[in-house]
């Protein structure tokens, strides 16, 4: 079970949102590279980056900050990135910058042809981000993700994102059971009890959980959480 620190980028800074609302952003660091290095030194095995400005603009905006993170990590752990990725050129650019996995969000659902092309062009490096409101998202039609060769799914419960209200275990398990590709939970991770609950259902195909506000505000100690996950997954 991977506990994956999130670095959400807005105007070149590390921020966290509540329920995806840009106006409510809290700045946690003005040095994304140093923040990334901190999580690596704490034992992180993967990083999750989001270009928040890019997600709204539909194109890369925080590429400078992303490059600084890649430089700080030095290839020691994989980095996954989402936000504003709508064409193959952008994917290629990010992979050339040193990103390991690219997350395609709403574009995957709205333009399945793009997702298919991306998986064909960059095998093993494409993930899909699925957002659910009120813990619900239609499961029909997701078999295409498996057929195309999607690496994994990042499943976010928008209602819980940044709210420190616990992971929606039930909905995440339901998704994982409907698919053969791995699922990463996102939204609501609050404390070590959440880590224990996730590890208990890892056999369903849930390989990790993304955490942001909890590790920045101290409701969970990252190093302790990853160590616990390693012990329970052994």
Which residues have a catalytic role annotated? 8, 131
Question: What radius of gyration do the chain's Cα atoms show?
Answer: 16
Of the candidates 70, 117, 124, the one whose C-alpha atom is nearest the C-alpha of residue 102 is 124
Distance CA 129, CA 95 (A): 18
Q: What are phi and psi of 76, to 5 degrees?
A: -75, -30
Distance CA 72, CA 51 (A): 17
Exposure b/e, 23-55, CB count within 10 A at least 16 = b: eebeebeebbbebbbbbbeeebbbbbbbbbbbb
């Amino acid at each position: 079970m991977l506990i994956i620190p999130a670095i959400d980028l807005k105007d070149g800074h590390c921020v966290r949102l509540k329920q995806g609302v840009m106006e409510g952003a809290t700045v946690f660091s003005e040095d994304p590279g140093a923040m990334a290095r901190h999580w690596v030194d704490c034992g992180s095995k993967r990083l999750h980056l989001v270009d928040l400005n890019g997600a709204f603009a539909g194109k890369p905006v925080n590429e400078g900050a992303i490059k600084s993170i890649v430089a700080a990590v030095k290839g020691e752990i994989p980095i996954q990135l989402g936000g504003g990725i709508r064409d193959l050129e952008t994917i290629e650019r990010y992979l050339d910058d040193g990103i390991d996995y690219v997350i395609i969000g709403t574009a995957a659902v709205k333009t399945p042809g793009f997702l298919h092309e991306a998986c064909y062009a960059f095998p093993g490096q494409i993930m899909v981000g699925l957002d659910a409101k009120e813990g619900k998202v239609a499961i029909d039609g997701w078999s295409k993700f498996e057929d195309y060769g999607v690496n994994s799914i990042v499943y976010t419960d928008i209602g819980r994102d940044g709210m420190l209200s616990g992971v929606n275990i039930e909905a995440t398990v339901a998704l994982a059971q409907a698919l053969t590709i791995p699922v990463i939970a996102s939204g609501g991770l609050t404390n070590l009890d959440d880590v224990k609950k996730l590890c208990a259902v890892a056999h369903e195909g849930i390989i990790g959980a993304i955490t942001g506000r909890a590790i920045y505000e101290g409701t969970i100690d990252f190093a302790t959480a990853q160590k616990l996950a390693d012990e329970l997954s052994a």
